A and B are shown apart, each in its own frame.
Chain A
């Protein structure tokens, strides 16, 4: 029977010839991860199971990235639990401040996740690794604890939805716009429990960074996972980088999909998601006059090299608007260093932007850029829920890095073409 790429990966990890949507499987996990918010709960639950060790000390990553560098005493206590657990169990993949990155930028960069993998992580944006042609999905702390002990997890095989993007991307349009457009079309529960498979000429020509951004936000449509079939772009990224053997899977031509959506990428312009749901999207040209107080560029969604280069193109030789605070978060130490070498950090600082060490920080209203009551931010992050970046009466507008940079210069939501 024909299968989708998702079904093939799940079947391979369940030791079965084939699986069908709705089937419950016990699947072997290739890699699991947790962060400084979710891992403390997972560690506590893991210790209740009564096993001496984790299933594989090379396949459990603990990444203190949310409230780090520790924002207060309680956060420091939480981060310490990760450090102590990593030492006790001799974990290979514990990433300390100064050597870390935002988890979903870091793990692919370090070659710890690869094509054909099955990954679960106690963070909803674990779906990011689908960009590599892997099945990866977010779970809670207790599921992480169980997987740390067993090296496997139970999963319901999801139905797949195919999103086919024809045509070529317009200038200033990237993965962020394609995914925001999709969420705007199908809604925040439009792919509930389902696997979102992104295909078509526009995806085939999309960079790895753009694909990471798209798969990252599958959860914002309720999706269990997002996935792009691996190709030569994927191969160029993983070759010499992946620390474990990987495998390329493809959907069969006659695989069954719950639904197929067809979009013409050439008709999509940069998108902005208005408060307070990622589905409230409109083209930036229809945003109207929305004055802003802060711009955040970074996060697991848009904190990669291509994102920083895009922002720097606009900010070079320009100044941030007098009423705006611009905060930039490179996704990892390696990205930070590369941005430094390319002169991007200098461009940001010259423009009047603040550049931070990698952290999830303001994306979830943690620290490093919290909004006061009534304040508005344009952010390249992934959620604009009530209170997401600070006061419950503040507002977040989601956009791509070029729109964010243009908005920082103009002092209002602006298209990149408005900057002269």
Chain B
């Protein structure tokens, strides 16, 4: 599957309060959360982001709280994937669990500029900057996490497992 969109550039240590401030966490409705996605990092983001757009950030993206509302808000805002130098660990798990594609690619995170047209081959992790023509390779995803993706998220994966153990 090819993901394609315009890059939105953010710095390092973008925390989950910046991704979705706690003042909006009295709901878990994805559409509501999307209205405030990245608001404290860039107030224009929620109104100007287009379906398919890609977040490109520095190190430690998603640090802070365990709120799954963070990847949910990003996904519901229409963002096709996040590329970063590194991800904070709870955000990393959460993104896979809910089916938000994320790619660890330090060089791409450095090179890609705000507004560049970017494509990502979700299967191979190959990132192409259409504006400059440069390509990058994301760090491979561990095989176990690929199983979770293949099952369509953690819940489906668990449901399959529970089914198997019931029919044994």
Contact = CB atoms under 8 A, between A and B. Distances in A.
A140 B97 contact: yes
Contacts of B72: 41
Interface string A69-84: 0011011001000000
Contacts of B86: 189, 192
Given A142-B155, A385-B15, A387-B40, A37 B25 contact: yes
B134 interface: no
A212 interface: no
Interface string B18-55: 10011101111000000000001100000000000000
Contact of A50 (B60, B97, B162): B162
Contacts of B154: 142-143, 146
B68 A385 contact: no
B59 to A, nearest CB: 6
A124 B155 contact: no
B94 interface: yes
Contact of A75 (B26, B63, B88): B26
A294 interface: no
A192 to B, nearest CB: 7
Contacts of B144: 24, 154
Interface in B68-90: 68-69, 72, 86, 88-90
Q: Interface residues of B toward A: which range?
A: 35 or more
Contacts of A38: 66-68
B94 A142 contact: yes
A259 B69 CA distance: 33
A277 interface: yes
B153 interface: yes
B155 A45 contact: yes
Given A41-B28, A386-B17, A192 B88 contact: yes
A154 B90 CA distance: 13
A140 B93 contact: yes
A150 B28 CA distance: 24
A71 B90 contact: no
A302 interface: no
A189 B59 contact: yes
Contacts of A385: 15, 17-18, 64
B89 A193 contact: yes
Contacts of A150: 158, 161-162
B141 interface: no
A219 B154 CA distance: 23
B133 interface: no
Interface of A: 24, 37-38, 40-41, 44-45, 48-51, 66-67, 71-72, 74-75, 78, 121-124, 126, 138-143, 145-146, 149-150, 154, 156, 188-189, 192-193, 219, 222, 224, 277, 364-366, 383, 385-388, 392
Interface of B: 13, 15, 17-18, 21-23, 25-28, 40-41, 59-60, 63-69, 72, 86, 88-90, 93-94, 97-98, 142, 144, 153-155, 158-159, 161-162
28 contacts: A38-B67, A49-B159, A66-B25, A72-B26, A74-B26, A74-B27, A78-B27, A122-B68, A124-B90, A126-B66, A139-B66, A142-B98, A145-B158, A146-B154, A146-B158, A149-B162, A150-B161, A189-B60, A192-B86, A219-B64, A364-B65, A365-B21, A365-B23, A385-B18, A385-B64, A386-B15, A386-B17, A387-B21
